Each structure stands twice: as structure tokens, then as C-alpha cells.
Amino acid sequence: MPDVLKAPLVVEFPFTRSLGPVQSAFLTGLRERVVLGVRTTDGRTLVPPAEYDPVTAEEIRDLVEVAPTGTVTTWAWNHAPRRGQPLDTPFAWVLVRLDGADTALLHALDAPGPDAVRTGMRVRVRWAAERSGAITDIACFEPYDGGPAQPDGHCGDFADPVTGIVAPARLDYTYTPGRAQTAHLDALAERRIVGERCPSCRKVYVPPRGACPTCGVATSERVEVGPRGTVTTFCIVNIKARGLDIEVPYVYAHIALDGADLALHGRIGGIPYDRVRMGLRVEPVWTGGARHPDHYRPTGEPDADYDTYRELL
């Protein structure tokens, strides 16, 4: 088997989320060094607060301040912190039941080693120096050997409440396109376009995906298609995409390459946009070091008969 292609793939997105009244109060509170819980109908205090009672599903809004001190209910020693985690030195993950709360909050505990941590130990919040209204406004917990701190009884009303969070996410992958697409991409590097033929229905798919979507069987026979082809259908793009330096209007078309049984798409150039038509014969234009055709241009041949491409529409 030839080597499959591989490349790093980073998926990054800023998750922008709006907050409801309860989450808004809780996260604004953290910004102001106040920890708020919410009281359920049966009188328990949930920290972190939920908007709906986990037992009755009733909406709950009764905010109550709890202490920034509490007790570890369970823990796990993390000797090798990973990217994004609260501390970059070894730490304990902890669930902490804050004084005044009936449920526990997940966070990190800064401790010298696993022997310094146990269930039942007393801890307190270490606030982040800069706070924006996010769970990370708690930098971590730290060991504390006192009794419950006395909260001031904050009611959860703030002058300038946080109404949303942006939670950036980033995941790193090694992308491998698989056998069929690797062959296709390898051929493109030589400015050839290669598809695969279905052993059952004999159709040639380009770009190949390794399977015939009609027969559900593997395709493997490589077939070089094109380079010339026929425009089967098209549209005229009038809105400029951000970061794209193609002047509008331009034509984006389905192109049935000669020998292929599936049309691929590409931009049509070298002809005014309003002269492009179904049946127009085109050929790829490769520019610079590009790894795929930049666009397709007219070959000058007579238009193809409708019957030669009607099955590919």
C-alpha cells in the first residue's frame, strides 16, 4: 500500500454563548469575588447553580451567596497537566462542596503532591488576578485549615452583569484522507485528475471516496479523467466572500470531465460570466504551485450535445 497522506489539522473555534439569569449572576459574581448558588424547591443549594431543578425540572431563580471555603468530596491527582487546564504544574482535580452548598463544584486544587490531598480536606478559592466573568475567575483552590468563611448575603443583583461567555476551543488532529483520496491528491500534484471505477456499476467517481454510493462497494480501479470536460450546470456568484480575491460576478459550475460519471465543481474563467452556458467545453488552468486547478476555461470546441451529459446533471 502506498503511503497515505497526512497533515496536521487544527480545529479552533470561539464558542460564544449567552447566559440565562442564573448563570449570568453566578459568573458575574465570580468576577466580583462572590460565589452564588441557587436554592431548589426542596431547600437544597446548588453550586454551581442550575436554571432548572435537577429533580423536579422546575425553573429556579432563588440566588443565595455561599462561602469561598469548602470541603473536598473527591479528588484525583493529575501529575501531567494538559493544555488548557487550570494549572501547568501537577495538581489535584477536586469536587468541592462550598460551605453553605449541598452540591460540589469541579475545579483544580494547588497542592504539593498527592500525599497532601484527601477527601474531606478543607480548601478555599484562590481568585484569578484578572477576572472577566468565567469559571476560570477561580484560578484554583488551595489548602485551608479554617472554618467556614461568612458570606455577606449577596442577593445576586449586579450593576454590570456578564451576559455571555466566549469559550475558545482548540483540538489538534492528524488528518489522513484515506487510500482513495490520497491517490487522487497524489495525481493532482502531477496535474492529473484521477477517479475510481465501481466494479459493479462501472461508474467512474471523481474525486473518489473509496466507495460507490449506489452499490455500496469499494472502488479501487484508478481511471484518469479529463483534462477536458463539459459544463453541466452553473450559477453566477454575486457576493464576494471574505478573504477571497476573485472579482464578482463569477461563474461556479459543475463540470463533467471526459470519462467521469460524476461532475465535480470549479470556477469558470476566461469568458464573460454571462456567456457561460450548459454544454460549454472547458479545460483546467493550473497556476503557480497550486495543488488543484485554479479554474476552468473554454477550449474553443463546439458545445457538447445535451444528450452526452444529461445523465450527469
Partner 1 sequence: MNREIAVVAFAQTDHRRTSEELSEVELLMPVLHDVLARTGLRTADLDFVCSGSSDYLAGRAFSFTLALDGVGAWPPISESHVEMDGAWALYEAWTKLRTGDADTALVYAYGKSSPGSLRDVLTRQLDPYYVAPLWPDSVALAALQAQALIDAGDTDEPALAAVAARNRENATANPHAQLRGPVPHGDHVVRPLRRGDCAPVGDGAAAVILAAGERARALTERPAWIRGIDHRVEAHGLGVRDLTDSPSTRLAAEHAGAFERPVDTAELHAPFTSQEIVLRKALRLGDGVRVNPSGGALAAHPVMAAGLIRIGEAAARIHRGASDRALAHATSGPCLQQNLVAVLEGDPR
The binding site for partner 1 (CB under 8 A) comprises 1, 4, 6, 9, 11, 15, 17, 19, 23, 27, 46-48, 50, 54, 73-79, 82-86, 93, 95, 97, 103-108, 114, 119, 134-136, 165, 167, 169, 171-181, 209-218
First to last CA, the chain: 35
- Phi, psi angles (nearest 5°) of residue 218: -70, 140
Q: How far is the CB of 151 from partner 1 (least distance, A)?
A: 19
76 binds, among partner 1, Zn ion, none (CB under 5 to 8 A by kind): partner 1
CB nearer to partner 1: give 17 or 238: 17
Task: Considering the complex, state which of residue 73 and residue 233 has its C-beta at the smaller distance from partner 1.
Answer: 73
- What backbone phi and psi angles, to 5 degrees, belong to 199? -70, -15
Of 108-147, which residues contact Zn ion (CB under 5 A)? none
- Bridge partners (DSSP) of residue 255 are 231, 264
- In this complex, which beta carbon is closest to Zn ion, that of residue 183 or of residue 212? 212
Total number of residues binding Zn ion (CB under 5 A)? 6
Indicate which single residue of 214, 248, 277, 310 sits in contact with Zn ion (rule: CB under 5 A).
214
Interacting stretch for Zn ion, rule CB under 5 A, among 63-71, 139-147, 199-207, 295-303? 199-207
User: Which is nearer to Zn ion, 150 or 200 (by Cβ)?
Assistant: 200
* Residue 23 touches which of Zn ion, partner 1, none (Cβ within 5-8 Å per kind): partner 1
Q: What is the rounded (10 degree) CA torsion for 189, 192, 193, 197? A: -110
List 19, 38, 165, 212, residue binding Zn ion (CB under 5 A): 212
What is the CB neighbour count within 10 angstroms for residue 79? 10
CA distance linking residue 132 with residue 139, whole number of Å:
12
CA dihedral 241, 243, 248, 254 (to 10 degrees): -70
Cα distances (Å, whole numbers) of residue 56 to 37, 40, 52, 60, 282:
17, 9, 8, 10, 65
Question: Distance between CA atoms of 298 and 282, rounded to whole angstroms?
Answer: 4
**Distance in angstroms (rounded) separating the CA atoms of residues 81 and 202:** 53
Q: Smallest distance, Å, CB 203 to partner 1?
A: 10
CB of 86 to partner 1, least distance (A): 6
Asked if residue 247 lies in contact with residue 213, where contact means CB atoms within 8 angstroms, the answer is: no
Residue 128 site contact among partner 1, Zn ion, none (CB < 5 to 8 Å, cut-off depends on kind)? none
CB of 270 to partner 1, least distance (A): 32
Would you count residue 218 as binding Zn ion (CB under 5 A)? Answer: no
Q: From CA 98, how far away is CA 110, in angstroms rounded? A: 16
237 binds Zn ion (CB under 5 A): no
Q: What does DSSP assign to residue 67?
A: -
Told to check if 201 binds Zn ion by CB under 5 A, we report yes
The kind and range of the H/E element at 233 are strand 229-237
Q: Which is nearer to partner 1, 61 or 79 (CB)?
A: 79
C-alpha cell at 121: 480536606
Furthest C-alpha separation in the chain? 90
- Taking the complex as a whole, how short is the minimal distance between the CB of residue 217 and Zn ion, in angstroms? 6
Q: Residue 267 and residue 155: Cα distance in Å, rounded?
A: 60
Single residue of 211, 215, 223, 236 touching Zn ion by CB under 5 A: 215
* Contact region with Zn ion (CB under 5 A), list: 23-31, 133-141, 195-203, 243-251: 195-203
The binding site for Zn ion (CB under 5 A) comprises: 198, 200-201, 212, 214-215
